[in-house]
Amino acid sequence: MEALLNLWADFKPTLIETWRSVDNSLLGADSPLLLHPQSEADSPRHQHDSEDGRSYAEESDEERQSEAESPRDQTQFIDRGTNTEESDGTPHERTDPGHSGLSEWEEEEARQSVMLVFEEEIQDAYTDGPGCLIEAHDGVKPCIALTISSDLSAKIQKVIMSKREFEAEKVRAKARSEAVKKFSSELRTAKVKHQSRIASEEARQSVSDEEKSDKISSLRQELEMLELLSENMTAVKTNIELNLSARADGLAAAQAAVSAYLEDAFVYAQLSKPDAGASPEPVPEYDLQEEYQTLRDQMEEINGGPPAPQTLDTSDDHLRANKPVQTPAQEAMLHASTDLWHARERLREAQYRFESRDEIRREEYQQNIELEESGQPTLDISNEDFDCRWVKCITDMTRELIEAESAVEQAKIAAREAGLPCEDDGQSSCFADDADDGPDGPFRSGDPDTSEHVAAEPRVLDWFDSLVEAGDSEFMEAADVDDWECSEAGMSDSLSMVAQGSDRRRIDKWQQACRAEGAL
């Protein structure tokens, strides 16, 4: 090692002069590799020569040898790593920054003289071997340098771009998050105001029911729009977080790729310890009873109150809800209710398909036309096949509707036998059942003797007895009617005032008045 150091001390002055004499003309005008050489007048060597008036060639060999002593010591320091002691145990003397004999600005100029700038990237400028630490010179003193392959260069450039993209995305995410936060606050305020306004409108008594209903409906529509905007802002916030997370993941992946090269180089140079390949720590296994007991002891020590149960009972019998045992009658009623619900669902589906048969037929006919125009196979070979198929479809729809209606009637009979009250399917909404009507109302469509049953009602018979003869105009009185706006219905149509909303209260009021007078 001592011989190598002496050889380097002798060789360094000549090497430095060779580097300082490099001119761009030697590289060629088209070379993509540019150096930053100092001019001869500004070089540290020229400054040193101008002080004593002698050129480098006029210096004696002893002076050059003396000047080379400092690099020898510095080289020894580099080879020893972080060791700052001489072989005899005395501290190694370091001077900073003047240990090279140059001032700070001279050292900076010297370092810039060996820096590289690429006009364009070429593959021949990189090493073909692995990335590793090698001996080099920074223009002032010997040092170590990292050899870079083309792949490592590409990965470093990717890290740079990923970092810039991440920083830009972080700035955008912060600005957008602030905007979303501000807008969400405005939405919350607007929703609270609308809810308060709706409550106040519902409590108002000074306006008509129609005006109140229109106002509340308008406010509820606006509130629904505000809810949709709030959900949209939640999606925007999630998108901002996902974009930032994606940029962060990309940066982490790029940095990991570069770190793999650096790890190989530093481990080979013994500047970093190799990966020992330690096995991951075992995942702890938690026991519910042990953790419960530990927490119980801690809480008892802290609170000093009555302790919790000694053990935690997690058995199924302990945690299962005590479901009441149903009687056979209750189970029969439950099964009857389920069967009736399924029967009614089947009837609704059958009614929908039967009532929509013409529309479905037109859609399929139009679909055949479009398929034929596009050259694709149609649902039917010809119009005759289409008509024949739809004759069968309508027959099947009709049969399904009849069977569904029959199934509902049978399910209703079974429900009545099980003691389940079931209202008539044709009964309008908002009509409360009368206690005297029985569980199914006055009209039992499922019974074969509906008309006889209605005619036998005592109230109906009393009403017939109270009527005057229709042809006796002498005893006819003016009909007591309550005029209001209404629309006429055709022979095959039906309308229900119950479905009109606010008019339902007028019907109920009239009914109560009649009952109070004993008319019903």
Neighbour tally for 131: CB within 10 Å = 22
Contact indicator for 128, 149 with CB cutoff of 8 Å: yes
Instruction: Give the residue extent of every domain in the chain.
Output: 2-147, 153-268, 326-422, 432-464+512-520
Whether the CB-CB separation of 38 and 20 falls below 8 Å is answered with yes
Q: Is 0.75 surpassed by the pTM of this model? A: no
Question: Six-digit token pair at 398?
Answer: 């009709």
* Nearest alpha carbon to residue 184 among 242, 247, 151, 231: 231
Q: Is the dihedral of CA 166, 167, 169, 174 positive or negative?
A: positive
Q: What are the backbone dihedrals phi and psi of residue 487, each rounded to the nearest 5 degrees, phi first? A: -115, 150
Nearest to 12 by CA among 199, 148, 143: 143
Give the chain's length.
Answer: 520
- The tally of CA atoms less than 13 A away on the side-chain side of residue 199 is 6
511 C-beta neighbours (distance < 10 Å), count: 14
Angle between helices 2-20 and 69-79 (to 10 degrees): 120
d(CA 71, CA 188): 73
Q: Do the beta carbons of residue 139 and residue 72 sit within 8 Å? A: no
**d(Cα 379, Cα 385) in Å, to the nearest integer?**
9
Tens digit of pLDDT per residue, the chain (520 long)? 455 455 455 555 554 554 444 444 333 334 444 333 333 444 444 444 444 444 444 444 444 444 444 443 433 333 333 344 444 444 444 444 445 678 888 888 888 888 888 888 888 889 998 889 999 988 888 999 999 999 999 999 999 999 999 999 999 999 999 999 999 999 999 989 988 888 888 887 777 778 888 888 888 899 899 999 999 999 999 999 999 999 999 999 999 999 999 999 999 999 998 888 777 788 888 888 888 888 888 887 787 766 677 777 777 666 666 667 778 888 888 888 899 999 999 999 999 999 988 998 899 888 888 888 888 888 888 888 888 989 999 999 999 999 999 999 999 988 888 887 776 555 544 444 454 555 444 444 444 444 555 556 677 777 777 765 554 555 556 656 666 666 666 666 655 555 455 566 677 777 777 877 764 4
Residue 477 main-chain phi, psi, to 5 deg: -110, 160
At residue 511, what are phi and psi to the nearest 5 degrees? -65, -40
Distances (CA, A) of 348 to 104, 284, 426: 94, 57, 13
Phi, psi at 35, each rounded to 5°: -100, 165
Per the CB < 8 A criterion, the answer to whether 465 and 458 are in contact is: no
